[in-house]
Chains A and B, each alone.
Chain A
Amino acid sequence: MSEAHITHYLCIGCPLGCRLEVEDNGADDVVKVRGWGCKKGRAYGEEEHTDPRRVMATSVRIRGGRWGRIPVKTSGSIPKAMVREVAYAVRAIEVEAPIKIGTVVAANILGTGVDVITTRDMERA
């Protein structure tokens, strides 16, 4: 039988930054999350321990816009371990102004099931 193991996390759900303590059974099964201030924090502690995920934001080239870059983000969270890879893949994208907020610039990026979308409108300059 494996021993109980405690890992500490800082909750990022809000700026309060609750100090979470996640106890597992030595395998990946979470036994208990302590130190949370809200339900979201408890869920975060569990997810951060078993399947950490992040929303990734970056900017991509745009032709004919007011600025040379337009901001984009993943439409949902992706596995933390894939953030760098997704960011590098997105660097190849180039779009054309005008473009609307929420436009998909890469669908199902690297098979994550998540799209990369624009986060603002940009008119033609």
Chain B
Amino acid sequence: MITAELRHLEPHYDVVISGGGPAGMAAAIGARERGAEKVLLIDREAEAGGILWQCIHHGFGLHHFGEELTGPEYAQRYLKQVIDNGIDVLTDTYVYDISPVRRLKLMSGSQGIRTIDAGAVVLAMGARERTRGAIRIPGERPSGVLTAGLAQKFVNMMGLLPGRRVVILGSGDIGLIMARRLTLEGVEVLGVFEIMPYANGLNRNIVQCLHDYDIPLHLSTTVVDIRGRDRVQGVTVAPVSATLKPDMSRAWDIACDTVLLSIGLIPENELSRRIDLRLDPVTSGPVVTSRMQTSANGVFACGNVVHIHDLVDFVSEEATLAGQAAGDYAMFRHLPADNIRLIPGDNVAYCVPHTLSTDREHTVYMRVRKPMEKCTIRFGSAFKTKVKYVFPAEMVNITLMPELLEKFHGDTLRIDVVQR
């Protein structure tokens, strides 16, 4: 059994987690580890597990479980732990409001409209895909233009093919995975078009999903027109200049019936805005402490709602920490507050968490702005480490040991990634 029916909803829980994907499941287990007795995991779908169910490909869990699993296997393992830990799972339910005193309003298929109070809340709503509107592709508005993740759900879970001749715009991982997936279903994938001069997805996906099937990847090239009245009939693509301006003199047409978009994810922070959490303008997710607490006391956040991860393993790691902190908070165990603020410096787009304390080991996740080889990552004068290369598509994570920060007495640490 991988679903557990919740028969009775309590008016108060120690920890309530909004979102039952990989982040929410790990947070729930983390909260339980710290002695939170009544833990409630809420998900809007019919089963918890989140996007992992549709990510049927192989390659998850190498860091976390020490073996390579498919998305569903990863989800099922976690969900089993959630259920074995006596965590209440409420599916088919939305959290539609939250107040600063952690009163949550739910809309539930089985429970109706309900209000519950939480000792601590973990926000784990994940992210949604950017759509055509986000990048304003000119042209007509026929059917056949959809996000790669939606196509993934259609193909993998429902057995529906989005079309027969497909162009993929954007080189995000989901788009690369779908290029292979559709090819294996007998669909013709005509190419992946990326406006930037480098790919957005992981190297392994470029090799295994594109190279393996001779699917061309066109860098510095984008879709400038979509044609078709009822259904997509074709697109026009054009190379772009260094300033990303299309060169129409070198444009060409491609006949296709489907355009898949793999152009990034946006953290789903509607709930965070209900309580005016401080958001990071770069990540569009909440600003968090080293224990994943947001700017509201007792409200924690983890996973893609905070920043977009490329590996679920790191989501699990970060969410376990958030869940443990929420468990501690709900059980009235308070740790010293953070005393160092991290500032993204040269070639650092953002870092998570936003603050650190000097008393514990920390993992800092960050993303660079541009690719760089043979570089040094510097945390002010406190710590530096050499890395072979960094890419915007691959999250960098650095572990800082407490002894490194012991001798540091400033208030801010600036992170720079510089060429050696």
Chain A interfacial positions (CB closer than 8 Å to B): 9-17, 37, 54-59, 61, 66-69, 71, 73, 80, 83-84, 87-88, 91, 101, 119-121, 123
14 intermolecular pairs with C-beta atoms under 8 Å apart: A12-B204, A12-B207, A14-B62, A14-B204, A16-B394, A68-B159, A69-B156, A83-B184, A84-B184, A101-B72, A119-B72, A120-B2, A120-B53, A121-B1
What residues on A are CB-neighbors of B156 within 8 Å? 59, 69, 71
**B335, CB-defined interface residue at 8 Å:** no
Given A57-B58, A71-B70: A80 and B212 within 8 A (CB)? yes
**Bound CA span A119–B56, Å:** 8
- Which residues from A are CB-within-8-Å of B73? 101, 119-120
In the complex, chain B residues whose CB is within 8 Å of the CB of A121: 1-2, 76
Shortest B138–chain A CB gap in Å is: 35
Chain A residues closer than 8 Å to B127, beta-carbon distance: none
Are B208 and A12 within 8 A (Cβ)? yes
Q: Which residues of chain B come closer than 8 Å to A88, judged between CB atoms? A: 186
For chain B, the bracket of interface size reads 35 or more
| Smallest CB gap from B186: residue in A | A88
Point out the residues of chain A lying under 8 angstroms from B56, CB to CB.
57-59, 71, 73, 119
- Residue-by-residue, is B50-67 near A (CB-CB < 8 Å gives 1, otherwise 0)? 000100111000100000
Which chain A residue lies CB-closest to B63? A14
**Closest chain B residue to A120, Cβ basis:** B72
Contact residues in A for B183 (Cβ distance below 8 Å): 84
- B contacts, CB < 8 Å to A: 1-3, 46-47, 53, 56-58, 62, 68-73, 75-76, 155-159, 181, 183-186, 202-204, 206-208, 212, 310-311, 388, 394
Q: Kindly state the separation between the CA atoms of A28 and B122 in the bound complex, as whole angstroms.
A: 55
Q: Kindly provide the distance from the CB of A87 to the nearest chain B CB, expressed in whole angstroms.
A: 4
Query: Would you call B157 and A59 a contact (CB within 8 A)?
Result: yes
Q: A71-B70, A121-B76 are in contact. List 20 more A-B contacts (CB 8 A).
A: A12-B208, A15-B310, A15-B311, A37-B388, A54-B208, A57-B57, A59-B56, A66-B46, A66-B47, A67-B158, A69-B156, A71-B56, A71-B71, A73-B70, A84-B183, A88-B186, A119-B72, A119-B73, A120-B73, A123-B2
For residue B208, which residue of chain A has the nearest CB? A12
B3 CB to closest chain A CB (Å) equals 7
Residues in A neighbouring B203, C-beta threshold 8 A: 10, 12, 15, 17
Contacts of B311 in A (CB 8 A): 15
A118 (CB) vs chain B CBs: closest residue: B72
Q: In whole Å, how far is A45's beta carbon from the nearest beta carbon of chain B?
A: 12
Which of A12, A13, A57, A84 has the most chain B CB within a 10 Å cutoff? A57
Nearest residue, chain A, Cβ from B314: A15
Give the residue name and chain of the B residue nearest to A62 (CB).
B159
Complex CA distance for A67 and B47, rounded to whole angstroms: 11
Min CB–CB distance A89 → chain B (angstroms): 11
Residues in chain B near residue A120, CB distance under 8 A: 2, 53, 72-73, 75-76
- Docked-complex contact A68 and B157, CB < 8 angstroms: yes
Give the CA-CA distance A55 to B3 in the complex, in Å: 28
CB–CB B212/A83 < 8 A: yes
Closest to B56 in A: A71
Q: Shortest 10 CB-CB distances between A and B: which pairs?
A: A17-B203, A71-B56, A12-B204, A120-B72, A87-B184, A55-B58, A68-B159, A69-B159, A119-B70, A67-B157
Chain A residues with CB under 8 Å of B53's CB are 71, 120
Indicate which residue in A10, A58, A84 contacts B204 across the interface (CB closer than 8 Å).
A10
Task: For the complex, give the distance between the alpha carbons of A10 and B211 in Å.
Answer: 11
Query: Min CB distance, A116 to chain B, in Å?
Result: 12
Min CB distance A119 to B, Å, is 5
Assess the B157–A69 pair: CB atoms within 8 A: yes
Q: Chain B residues near A84 (CB, 8 Å)? A: 183-184
Whether the pair A10, B57 counts as a contact (CB closer than 8 A) is no
What residues on B are CB-neighbors of A101 within 8 Å? 72-73, 76
Give the CA-CA distance A55 to B70 in the complex, in Å: 10
Residues of B within 8 A of A59 (CB): 56, 155-157, 159
Q: Of the candidates B46, B72, B394, which one forms a contact with A15 in the assembled complex, judged by CB atoms under 8 Å apart? A: B394
Bound Cα distance A68, B212 (Å): 28
B206 cross-chain contacts in A, Cβ below 8 A: 10
Max count, chain A CB within 10 A of own CB: residue among B47, B53, B62, B72: B72
Q: Which of B1, B159, B311 has the most CB of A within 10 A?
A: B159
A contact residues around B204 at 8 Å (CB):
10-15, 17
